[in-house]
Structure 1
């Protein structure tokens, strides 16, 4: 196997490729606005083909597990492609699976369509994120990644509303027609926007199955601390957010109020990521990562222990601080491994997100035993484990220098 060598990133003097950033970011929005409609589509399947709740849960688990294991493979392949094939064909697969899924005549067909949709989204994200990073000069790397992520967050927020609107407008049976304009947009972006992006920051190594695990292991050693930080952060975010509507109901609110709270949190997270990325580029990325993670539990714990406006405002601010560090960890990973942007992006964001989704299972078990409110309060303390970890490292390193 060839030795992995990393060369410097783009210098600050090199112009940023905003055109490519726009193309990949719009593809991110298009992908996520369809795939994040899954919570709306699954109840339709429960009614149309009479699947059980456990079968519905399995469909969601397939979505999470395929992303967890598929993204590193897609990232490994993407780092060896001169053209961003996966970043264009991935969203097309996602859209096809999502628009056909409500019409699935059986559970087996629904399962296959979920797999198609998940392969699409798992293929897109590593290369899209890697190419968004390579569009930037080093002085705006985190900011470019935050803009790419913000488009995905916006798609996630609008996905359920988008599907409900389309079905009310044209009916469930006509939903697959959405593939036509969506595919045209994807191909237009491919031909006119992203296909000619410069490809200096890709590895010259060939893709070989036997080298995949060795390559991934070497990269993981370089960014392990960032993956740990991202996993704990995402586990906190997912562990609380997925159960928030239920907590709102337990506190006397309605499901509509819970949905509105989630929508407000998603929008706040969208803008917080942009602010965090800009701050990281203009100051110190590690400090931004640690401060945002360290501050977030203060507001999350306050929100979970109060009611009314104070609770809502605190939760929104807490999630915003938590999300502000997301593009920062990814940009730090890309700086460490500029020839493997897609792979390290899949590890620092994709794998951490997949593990965070698995974390919701023990959170649910704990809620059944000690109660939902107490469980979420414990989850809110998780980011401080990162603060304690880094504080310990600083104390040990300063002690070693004396």
Structure 2
């Protein structure tokens, strides 16, 4: 295996480990509620500590890495993310727990901007390479509950330090594997050129709209499918498996399609397809809903890695900032849309709530129509 492929493999695995700790938080919260009798408000506060704080500071870390390359943030951020989750169960104090979860969120935020820069360099501007990097993060998020649930179900919150082990191992291996590219990544102005804030802002609208759809579906899809096809919780869980499983595969497909037809064209077509696909989830009868879920996953996840590289190319002098926004702030802001869907569902019904999501891929498609291909990775 060549050095570049080995390093990309380490970055993909490292991204999975890092984002595993994002996926771990929702899995830890039920154990906090069960053992410490947290209220719903207190439980929500734990989630806010991990997600909102991480999203806000991620562009700040990006700004810092634009001023001065900090490759050490990749293994250190991963280790801090794991340490925060590891500490979260060790004290009865709510403040201590909240701060530990917030620490984990800061680690996640510190990791992403510099990791995305290194991945872009190691991939040598290859779309498929960046798609693999994005798949790592998506897979890690999905694996969070898979790691957390059996450990805490067996040992309770006292066993949270065990959850830090992947971060320690992953951080160490990442630091060793990436030593050879640290010097190459030291140039802050990776791609000298003119920053196009207008195009970057338009891309941010696309990402926020896409994120609102995925958060809305992630929150309500299982409930809807359970009612639509019967079969109890298993039917709803199967729909989520289809959504996230097909989504992960489609992230790789995005890199292949972009190499053939260009990133902007792929974005435009993907979001055009997402409009009838999302509507189909709410409207088609019976088991056909699974087909519409799969089509929606393809439409929403094909552009995922392309958002990152487009953002980096629109802001060639601020690659860290671009990575922080496209991987962090713009994605997590999408979570604010879920309460709106819930409110519509509460006033009318869940079908109308899901239909309201159709507006968002329309917005994403309209915004993507105004995007232009940047000079770098134009093909």
Q: Return closer, same or farther for 1:230/1:375 CA change in 2, 3 Å cut-off.
A: same
Deviations 1:328-384 (A, max 9, x none): 121112223334222111122312112101222222222222222201111123212
Shift of 1:103: 4.0
Shift of 1:295: 0.4
Residue 66 of structure 2 aligns with which residue? 79
Residue 357 of structure 1 aligns with which residue? 335
| Partner Cα separation in structure 1 for residue 68 and residue 112 of structure 2 | 15
Counterpart mapping for 1:76-225 below 5 A: 76-138=63-125, 140=126, 142-168=127-153, 172-180=157-165, 182-194=167-179, 196-199=181-184, 202-203=187-188, 220-225=197-202
Shift of 1:181: 5.6
- Note if contact 2:26-2:145 (Cα within 8 Å) is conserved in structure 1: yes
| Partner Cα separation in structure 1 for residue 147 and residue 365 of structure 2 | 39
Alignment partner of 1:33 is 2:7: no
| Partner Cα separation in structure 2 for residue 288 and residue 304 of structure 1 | 25
Q: Return closer, same or farther for 1:292/1:16 CA change in 2, 3 Å cut-off.
A: farther
Alignment partner of 1:247 is 2:224: yes
Q: Return closer, same or farther for 1:365/1:103 CA change in 2, 3 Å cut-off.
A: farther
| Partner Cα separation in structure 2 for residue 47 and residue 303 of structure 1 | 34
Paired residue for 1:300, among 240, 254, 278?
A: 278
- Note if contact 1:248-1:255 (Cα within 8 Å) is conserved in structure 2: no
Paired residue for 2:205, among 228, 235, 238?
A: 228
- Note if contact 2:86-2:160 (Cα within 8 Å) is conserved in structure 1: yes
Residue 348 of structure 2 aligns with which residue? 370
Shift of 1:70: 0.6
Deviations 1:43-84 (A, max 9, x none): 111111111011111221232221221110011122344441
SS at match of 1:242: helix
- Note if contact 1:87-1:123 (Cα within 8 Å) is conserved in structure 2: yes
Paired residue for 1:383, among 356, 361, 379?
A: 361
CA-atom RMSD in angstroms: 2.5
Residue 210 of structure 1 aligns with which residue? none
- Note if contact 2:10-2:177 (Cα within 8 Å) is conserved in structure 1: no
| Partner Cα separation in structure 2 for residue 294 and residue 26 of structure 1 | 32
SS at match of 2:50: helix
Deviations 1:235-264 (A, max 9, x none): 111122221122234434423332232123
Q: TM-score, structure 1 length as denominator?
A: 0.83
- Note if contact 1:96-1:117 (Cα within 8 Å) is conserved in structure 2: yes
Deviations 1:6-61 (A, max 9, x none): xxxxxxxxx99333322222111111223202222111111111110111112212
Any stretches of 5+ residues in structure 2 without a counterpart?
372-379
Q: Return closer, same or farther for 1:219/1:120 CA change in 2, 3 Å cut-off.
A: farther
Q: Return closer, same or farther for 1:177/1:373 CA change in 2, 3 Å cut-off.
A: same
- Note if contact 2:206-2:364 (Cα within 8 Å) is conserved in structure 1: yes
- Note if contact 1:83-1:195 (Cα within 8 Å) is conserved in structure 2: no
Counterpart mapping for 1:241-320 below 5 A: 241-251=218-228, 252-320=230-298
| Partner Cα separation in structure 1 for residue 173 and residue 185 of structure 2 | 24
SS at match of 1:279: helix
Moved over 6 A (4+): none
Q: Return closer, same or farther for 1:360/1:195 CA change in 2, 3 Å cut-off.
A: farther
Relative to structure 2, which stretch is displaced further, 301-310 or 188-197?
188-197
- Note if contact 1:301-1:380 (Cα within 8 Å) is conserved in structure 2: yes
Residue 377 of structure 2 aligns with which residue? none
Deviations 1:287-324 (A, max 9, x none): 00110111022222112212432101211221221111
SS at match of 2:181: coil
Relative to structure 2, which stretch is displaced further, 314-323 or 287-296?
314-323
Q: TM-score, structure 2 length as denominator?
A: 0.88
